[in-house]
Structure 1
């Protein structure tokens, strides 16, 4: 309804606001003071309004004297305007929107178009006078905050227009002083217009409000830096105490800076913004405790006093955020450790569901307990860190704790292979000199202590086996499931010694392999032929060795109970100590000469 005539630079329809190219309105509001004429002020304010909410620019109007409002085309990219009109009040052909604006009484108002869209005419008022209007098309229903932002921008634009009309030269000077276009610019004259101060404070207030919103929005450090970058136009970044980068907003590299780790804790403690080569930096601290620094990358030294003040304000906003992060980093491992200890010790109650949820873990899912020990690793927490990294690679949800040098991990899910976890943790630690034991699955947290005991038993069997490095699940233990830990483990050793001790001692003295022969004989159901084939010896050799076994041990191999006990002891011994039977390559065991054995 209000397309601009072709003789102007105004758009022929609503100006859309691409989200990727939308500037931050606090920076645009501050730029209103830089405009040297009414036209620049009007259209800078228009851009700020468009950035503050779902508004599309339609037209800008200036009022003066007792005449009707006059449409003001946007500045031409070359610096003037399109066509022959160069002043803010240049006359352009009338359009359907102009009569509606002319009928206003100096206050903002909405207009409904035939197609259902709405136009809002925002009055630019100052000291009970209306100095112009900004007409914007509503792309959506604005929120109360977006409407308030647009009205705040209008008030600042009205004050800027009043300053231009009062004394154009003084208005230009005040704008330069507010933005600090040069470092050497002195303060405003004592008689400077109070409106300049009001607008300057309002611009600062808008920036502070934007910072507060970013801090409360959950965007975190990057969101706060984005506001600083959009306000100053300079890339913004944060570093930790040692010069390592944390977050950044804005394009391009940060330029020369100390290598990570080169800066000592507490560097740059001087208050306020200071120059550090190509950057303007401010330390971030909380209650005197240094947390890092925030910086503007400024190789061309374009930063103004206002930019330095914005940087200092950003440091104040970042301080509680970084301090909170540090407290969480210190507290979270302790909370995880305490929660895991309660779960595996059997003292947990229903409140553990909420505690686990706070730590980002769902205890309602089935779990297994894994225990890990690594040689050369100083303590369990170091292994826990590696377990968490490995779990992320394996896409496992994990809750970690430790008991002394042993790491404990609660792994979500029923299918968790000990070998896969072992390989992933080995890769993280850079050494495979460790072992993993995994307990059975449990559907509720009350079963976790039992899964923990199974994991400890699996770890103990693995560490005592002929392959002490690797991963073992409790289901893989077979007969060794009956092995206990502590006193139970010692009882198992006594059982093996009771039934096989004499035979093992004989093998050690004479370098024979009678224990291995007995194991093969029992595994093959007492068959001479199957045993000789497995050992690759003659059948008579097997018969001779069995006679020697009877003589050495005093056991009757024909007794059912005796054979069962010998079989169980042989199985346990095979798991816990390397058997001395034929190697996988097929090498025959040492066969002693019968005459030597008789001696």
Structure 2
């Protein structure tokens, strides 16, 4: 006969989630000795009293009775469900309520529940063990006088003695199982502690835990994504039987997981086939520094979960919490050391040989050339808070996460270059940074990147940082350019312009290019673009004509017009330099797209 070892609790919330609890009945009705004794009692009682049927019922959770043994006259064997509700059994309910023999004729409503032609309960006697009602002995379809009732109570006493013996055996077995479970916990903790002391990584500990439990085990991150998992080879699983997204969307499941913490270390999630949750999951929470650091998921496969699994999972989660805490603190210390080395490198505050030596320990290869990329951060935003997100955005376009350093008003990235980088390599880096500017600006509030020249040795980095800071100040003073700004293309401009003299630079550019722009607006000419192309082509007429797609004489004519409008001699180097600086200032005064 079925004898569950655990049931769901009666409250609606916990009934949905599941809790490992023992059944109410303390006797194991699968015990052969008990079933033999109850069979003798029921057969003897039926024969002695001449009733149609004699049965023993045991109380079950949910106010139900389970028929565990019966004896009946030929042709009157019971059929149908062996479990019935006390609401449909007034005689049994009255016997349990009063704790004494109850007669059908004295219980209102009992006889009205029996359909015509069916056998009827006559008397019911409660079966008490240690003062607790465990069930009833019921006689059906018979006439019991006072003498017969005395015999009924005698047979009930025999049934009680059988139940008492079985209950004692059950308690002994449970105590032994409890001791075995405690021993299992001690063994598991000993094995896990030994693995930790031997320097095992988290993946190794999860594998060991799966081997000890003989079930699939998954370690989940705080976002409930699988970090690592293991399963017995006999199950032949190709992927972790983790919690399906649909199940995580069920309010009761999500609420149960959200309640996990130091005060509630674990929960049992019951199957929800409609949401893809086909098995029970025992989930224990990992807590580090007062915050949820992950979850340990023990999946019911191979054998059912039982009461001993809960403390095992909770203790294993505690061990893993210590490992996660150690990882977190180690990573935090490594990040701080890396920041310190970057600060020394960029500020030039330590000897070059010392910086080279310590850089190797934090993963910085200073033997390769680098570019410094300054990403300015808008006022009111924290460079330290957005540093990692900026580095991640740039990593997606440059295929490598660059080391990042937070200044008070900017994030500085170190972009590693291949040995002996040429112009194509630098242009590729500039294109990648330009592609990332929109994503970066979402975090920094400024759509600009100032790129240094190539840094080939430790002393180059402080100089490059100062140059990017200076150029960023000039660009900001001129109105802010939303683009990638290479320092090397503005070297001459730095000699004549600084942030304090930005207004002078703007007037200078207007004096050089303003007349040409007004002339183009009036005549529809292309003097500004011709001069720009002429400078970009190295002041070569043929190259300019090819770039513009016009005849060389057309270029010569336009240069003459430029000289006439501006008064500059296009054959003089100082005039060409002045025009180049004017174009650079004009380009930097473009209003910034993202703030």
Q: What TM-score does the superposition give when structure 1 sets the normalisation length?
A: 0.50
8 Å CA contact 1:270–1:283 kept in 2: the answer is no
Instruction: Say which of 205, 227, 240 aligns to 2:208.
Output: 227
Deviation at 1:408, TM superposition (A): 1.0
Deviation at 1:234, TM superposition (A): 1.4
Following the alignment from structure 1 to structure 2, what is the Cα–Cα distance between the partners of residues 526 and 300? 82
Residue 444 (1) aligns with residue 457 (2) = yes
- Alignment partner, residue 12 of structure 2: none
8 Å CA contact 2:369–2:416 kept in 1: the answer is yes
Residue by residue over 1:242-300, the C-alpha shift from the partner in whole angstroms, topping out at 9 and shown as x without a partner, is 43433322244124542499567553554454422211222222464443332311267
Flag the structure with larger Rg.
2
Residue 253 (1) aligns with residue 241 (2) = yes
- Alignment partner, residue 371 of structure 1: 374
Matches within 5 A, 1:57-456: 185-188=173-176, 204-250=185-231, 251=237, 252-256=240-244, 257-259=247-249, 262=254, 266-271=259-264, 273-277=266-270, 278-286=280-288, 288-298=290-300, 302-327=304-329, 336-337=338-339, 339-349=341-351, 352-353=355-356, 356-372=359-375, 380=383, 381-382=385-386, 384-388=388-392, 390-391=394-395, 394=398, 396=400, 398-403=402-407, 406-413=410-417, 414=419, 415=421, 417=426, 418-422=429-433, 425=436, 434-456=447-469
Instruction: Say which of 547, 566, 570 aligns to 2:579.
Output: 570
Deviation at 1:486, TM superposition (A): 2.6
Deviation at 1:184, TM superposition (A): 10
SS in 2 for 1:291: strand
SS in 2 for 1:439: strand
SS in 2 for 1:451: helix
Deviation at 1:367, TM superposition (A): 2.9
Deviation at 1:318, TM superposition (A): 1.5
8 Å CA contact 2:222–2:295 kept in 1: the answer is yes
Following the alignment from structure 2 to structure 1, what is the Cα–Cα distance between the partners of residues 381 and 324? 30
Following the alignment from structure 2 to structure 1, what is the Cα–Cα distance between the partners of residues 301 and 208? 20
Deviation at 1:450, TM superposition (A): 1.5
Structure 1 residues 223 and 525, CA gap change in structure 2 (3 angstroms): closer
The alignment of Structure 1 onto Structure 2 pairs a total of residues equal to 386
SS in 2 for 1:347: coil
Structure 1 residues 525 and 383, CA gap change in structure 2 (3 angstroms): closer
SS in 1 for 2:227: strand
Following the alignment from structure 1 to structure 2, what is the Cα–Cα distance between the partners of residues 272 and 239? 15
Deviation at 1:317, TM superposition (A): 0.9
Following the alignment from structure 2 to structure 1, what is the Cα–Cα distance between the partners of residues 388 and 347? 18
Q: What TM-score does the superposition give when structure 2 sets the normalisation length?
A: 0.51
Deviation at 1:209, TM superposition (A): 3.3
SS in 1 for 2:404: strand
Deviation at 1:567, TM superposition (A): 0.9
8 Å CA contact 1:373–1:406 kept in 2: the answer is yes
Following the alignment from structure 2 to structure 1, what is the Cα–Cα distance between the partners of residues 332 and 431? 30
Following the alignment from structure 1 to structure 2, what is the Cα–Cα distance between the partners of residues 516 and 423? 24
Following the alignment from structure 1 to structure 2, what is the Cα–Cα distance between the partners of residues 287 and 521? 65
Deviation at 1:409, TM superposition (A): 0.8
Structure 1 residues 460 and 201, CA gap change in structure 2 (3 angstroms): same
Deviation at 1:232, TM superposition (A): 0.7
Over aligned residue pairs, what C-alpha RMSD do you find?
Answer: 5.2
Deviation at 1:226, TM superposition (A): 1.3
SS in 2 for 1:362: coil
Residue by residue over 1:304-344, the C-alpha shift from the partner in whole angstroms, topping out at 9 and shown as x without a partner, is 44433322221221122222344456666665555434432
Which structure carries more helix by proportion? Answer: 2
Following the alignment from structure 1 to structure 2, what is the Cα–Cα distance between the partners of residues 200 and 538? 95
| Structure 2 unaligned regions, length at least 5 | 1-169, 232-236, 271-279, 589-595
- Alignment partner, residue 77 of structure 1: none
Of residues 459-468 and 367-376 in structure 1, the stretch that sits farther from structure 2 once superposed is: 459-468
SS in 2 for 1:310: helix
